[in-house]
Amino acid sequence: MTEEILKVEHLDKFYDDRQVLHDINFSLKKGEVLTLLGPSGSGKSTLLRTLNGLEDYKNGAIYFHGKKINPSPKEWQMLRQKIGMVFQSYDLFPNLTVIENVLLAPVKVQKRNENEVKEEAIKLLKQVRLDQYLNAYPRELSGGQKQRVAIVRALAMKPEVMLLDEITASLDPEMVRGIEEIVERLSKRDHMTMIIVTHQMNFASRIADEVLFLENGHILEDTPGKDFFDHPQTQRTKEFLDSMDY
């Protein structure tokens, strides 16, 4: 549980002249769950996307297993196979069935054996109760089902880290609970290393080993999960938690 997988040092990110991330520093150990909290527009999703190479950064460095990432398209392409990402809007490929969505990257990108991957994929889909929908198209699924497929699609790549970007934000409360259970199981049972952006404070308090609280692209607080919710350090964090009815 102590091996450091991801480390970010003095990261700055700009959109043209506007700085959206200021001197971001943190590290993530194997099996740890880091939760990014903060108001809308604070830079949580931007930070998450930066960690997957979907956004570039101006200053600072990101290390993966102690090795500094060279932010070239080729290196990100390799790293993304180890750093899985799930988006708020699911982003399944609409022209492919559930099983095709899950198999595409492991078979075509990682060049793994299709039969083996299919066996694993069906097992994963069974765990999220979607094995009856192998040949369904995304448009035939509910939001919660789509999000479960998106999680399985990312897991089928056997990532070392999962980045979850507000994955319950588009779902109704009943579906939210189902997705949260899957993520909690991933953490507690499979010890998956994760960085999670969420506005669900109860979920965050149950799952977070560490919390980064961001505002206007600055880290205002970096504390262990339990401390963050029980003893917030700053007045701003207290106000934020109050506003979230936590």
Interacting residues with other proteins (CB under 8 A) = 49, 52-54, 73, 76-78, 80-81, 84-85, 87, 89, 91-95, 104-105, 108-110, 137, 139, 153-154, 157
**Of the two residues 34 and 105, which places its CB atom closer to other proteins in the complex?**
105
**Of the two residues 87 and 213, which places its CB atom closer to other proteins in the complex?**
87
Residue type, 106: P
| Minimum distance of other proteins from residue 135's CB (angstroms) | 10
- Yes or no: say if 133 and 145 are a contact pair by the CB < 8 Å rule: yes
117-126: burial string, b at 16+ Cβ within 10 Å, e else? bbebbbebbe
Quote the CA–CA distance of 94 and 65 in Å, as a whole number: 35
**Of the two residues 92 and 211, which places its CB atom closer to other proteins in the complex?**
92
| Minimum distance of other proteins from residue 47's CB (angstroms) | 15
| Minimum distance of other proteins from residue 82's CB (angstroms) | 8
**Of the two residues 5 and 51, which places its CB atom closer to other proteins in the complex?**
51
**Of the two residues 104 and 134, which places its CB atom closer to other proteins in the complex?**
104
| Minimum distance of other proteins from residue 166's CB (angstroms) | 13
Helix 114-127 with 143-155: angle, nearest 10 deg: 140
CA distance to 151, 185, 198, 233, per residue, from 37 (Å): 21, 21, 7, 14
| Minimum distance of other proteins from residue 70's CB (angstroms) | 16
Helix 173-188 with 143-155: angle, nearest 10 deg: 20
| Minimum distance of other proteins from residue 190's CB (angstroms) | 20
- Yes or no: say if 214 and 12 are a contact pair by the CB < 8 Å rule: no
Quote the CA–CA distance of 242 and 191 in Å, as a whole number: 31
Residue 164 CB partners (closer than 8 Å, separation 6+): 85, 86, 183, 194, 195, 196, 197, 198
**Of the two residues 106 and 217, which places its CB atom closer to other proteins in the complex?**
106
| Minimum distance of other proteins from residue 92's CB (angstroms) | 8
**Of the two residues 25 and 142, which places its CB atom closer to other proteins in the complex?**
142
Quote the CA–CA distance of 92 and 44 in Å, as a whole number: 22
